[in-house]
Structure 1
C-alpha cells in the first residue's frame, strides 16, 4: 500500500522539522498502512486529548513519563505494538512478574475514556500507548516530532511470551544485540533507545547483584565497571534486605529530565544496570555513547528515528486486530 502524506506547515521551523521526520520515515522500513493524519477526519482531537492527559498526570507525578515510556517498550517487544500488555486476566502479559512493576496504566485508561466519549470505537489503545510515550518524552524536555498512527489492538496476550522478548538488566551485549535484531532494530537503535534510562526509576533488585557488603560492612564490587563511589550511594539507598518495592532514579543527576545525561553518566561509569555499562565498555558502541554525551541534539535526532522504528514493530493495521472499547479487555 502506498502511503500519501500531506505536509501542513504552521511555522517555517515546524515545517523543517516535519519534513526531516517525513524523509526519515520514508527511508525507514516502517509500516506503510500507518499515516501521519490517520485520525484527521474520524477524531481530529485525538492526539491533543492524549497529550493533555500525559501533561496533566505528569504535573502531579513526575515519574509518569518514565512509566509511560517503559510501558511502550514492554508492549512493542512482545507481540508488537498492539497494546497486548494492557489486557488483564490470568496468563496475560500484564500478569507476568516481569510486568508487575509497570505503571502508567491509569493515564492510558483515562485518555481512552475521554476518546470513547468524543470518538467512540475509533482510536486504538495501541495508538494511545505510542502517542503517550512520545508525549511523555516531550513533557520531560525531549524532542517533539510527528508520529504516524493507525495501529490496531491485538487480541493475544500470553505471559509465556514475555521473558524471552524483553531486555533483562543483566544482559550482555551479545544478548541485547540478538534481541534487538530480532525486532528489526540495529546496533545504533540499541544505543539510542537505551537513552530511555535518562528518566524513570528502578527497583533495587534490578541492580543489587552488582555489589554487596562484606561481613565488616564494607562495599565489595562484583561488577568493576561500576564507579565505586556511585556503588556506595546505591548501597545506602538499597541496603541488604530492602523492600522489593524500593526504587532509585535511573539517572542520579537529572532524574526527571529527558536529556543526554544518561550517556554522560555512562562515561563516568555510573550506568545503573549491567546492560547500561556494557554500552560504554564495548568498542562497537562506545563511540556512539561518547557522541551522544557530547552533543544532546545528536542524541535527539537519533532518538526520533529509533523511536519511530520502535513504535512500528509488529503493528496490526487494516483488518487485523480490533479497536477495543476498553484497553484492559478485548471486545
Structure 2
C-alpha cells in the first residue's frame, strides 16, 4: 500500500506541475512581493521573518551558512518545496548528506511568528528562501529581492537525496547543476557560498594523505596542507572542522575572498580547488576576481535562480501549518487512491 501511495503522490505532483507550467504569470508563478495584500492589516511578512533572523544572528552568526546549506539541500532534492523540513522515519532529514544540516529550529520559530500574524498563508518553502536571504545580508552580503509564492511539497524520502559531493570533479558538478537548469556560471557563483561556513575533515582528508597513488593532492598549497594535517591527522578519532574560506579575516563574511584563496591553492574541498584550473570554470573565477565584478549582486541573482528550481505554485502542494508535517496525510492518501481508481476505469 505504501508504494502505491508514494506512486500516486508522484503522479499527482507531476500532473499538476505540467498544468502549473502552462499557466505562467498571474497567481501561478513566483513574484517579488507575493504576500502583499494577502494578510489582514497589511502585515509585512518579510519584516517578521527578518526580525526573527536578526535576533538569532546576533546570538549566533553561524546561522548564515546553516540556512544557506539548508536552502541548497532543499532545492537540489525535488525542488525548493521545504521537503527537507518534514519529519519521518524515511524523510530527507535522515539521509547521510542531511544529517549535519541544522537550523530547523530557526525555521520553526519563523513559522510560528508568521502564523500568528497571518495564519495559513505563508509557505515553509518561502520562509526558507526569505530567511536565507536575510541571513546572507546580515553576514555582509547584499540584500537581494526574493521571489515568493512557493507552496510546500507533500513528499520527503531519504532515497531521493542526491546532493553533489565535495569530492566531485568539475565535470560531475556541472552535470549535477545542469540537471537543475543551472548554468556553469551559476554553479561557480553558488559555490561561492563557501565564502562562509566550515567543513569536516572527513570531506577532504583524502587530499592530505592519499589523493593519488598514495600521495597528497599537489594542487593544494603545501603550507595549507601542513596546517590541515595538524587539524586532521590520520589517526584522529574526532571529525574536526576548518573554515572553507582560509582567510581568517573574511571566513564569516559574504565576499569574494573565497575565490582569492582558491586561486592561491588554498581551497579545502576538491571541487573548490578544481574551479581554478578547469578551463570551463577558471575564466569565471578570474572574472569574479576583477575589480569591476560585483560579486555580491551576482551571488544574489544566483541565489534567486537556485530558489526557482522545481517550485510548486498555484494549486500545487499545500501551505503547511507546521513545517515538520503535511497537514492531513490521511486525506492526501484518500485523494490519491481515488485518483488511481478513476484512472483504472
Q: 2:229 maps to what in 1?
A: 235
* Change beyond 3 A, Cα 1:40–1:292: same
- Residue 190 (1) aligns with residue 184 (2): no
Within a 5 Å distance, the mapping from 1:46-125 to structure 2 comes to: 46-125=45-124
Q: Kindly state the Cα deviation for residue 236 of structure 1 after the two structures are TM-superposed.
A: 1.4
Q: 2:209 maps to what in 1?
A: 212
Tell me if structure 2 keeps the 8 A contact 1:127–1:150: yes
Tell me if structure 2 keeps the 8 A contact 1:221–1:228: no
- Residue 309 (1) aligns with residue 298 (2): no
Can you list the C-alpha shifts for 1:88-119, whole angstroms capped at 9, x where unaligned?
11111111111000011111110001111111
Tell me if structure 1 keeps the 8 A contact 2:75–2:307: yes
Secondary structure of the residue aligned to 2:242 is strand
* Change beyond 3 A, Cα 1:203–1:296: farther
User: What TM-score comes out, normalization by structure 1 length?
Assistant: 0.86
Tell me if structure 2 keeps the 8 A contact 1:212–1:221: yes
Q: Which runs of 5+ in 2 are unaligned?
A: 1-22, 328-345
- Residue 291 (1) aligns with residue 287 (2): yes
Please say which of residues 53-62 and 31-40 is displaced more in the overlay.
Answer: 31-40
- Residue 146 (1) aligns with residue 168 (2): no
Q: 1:267 maps to what in 2?
A: 263
* Change beyond 3 A, Cα 1:185–1:244: farther
Q: Kindly state the Cα deviation for residue 142 of structure 1 after the two structures are TM-superposed.
A: 0.6
Q: Kindly state the Cα deviation for residue 2 of structure 1 after the two structures are TM-superposed.
A: 5.5
- Cα root mean square deviation, aligned: 1.8
> C-alpha distance in 2, partners of 1:242/1:157?
35
Can you list the C-alpha shifts for 1:152-194, whole angstroms capped at 9, x where unaligned?
000101111113xx11000011111111111000011011111
- Residue 178 (1) aligns with residue 172 (2): no
Tell me if structure 1 keeps the 8 A contact 2:140–2:255: yes
Tell me if structure 1 keeps the 8 A contact 2:246–2:258: no
Q: Kindly state the Cα deviation for residue 311 of structure 1 after the two structures are TM-superposed.
A: 0.2
Q: Which runs of 5+ in 1 are unaligned?
A: 5-30, 214-219
Q: Kindly state the Cα deviation for residue 221 of structure 1 after the two structures are TM-superposed.
A: 5.0
Secondary structure of the residue aligned to 2:276 is helix
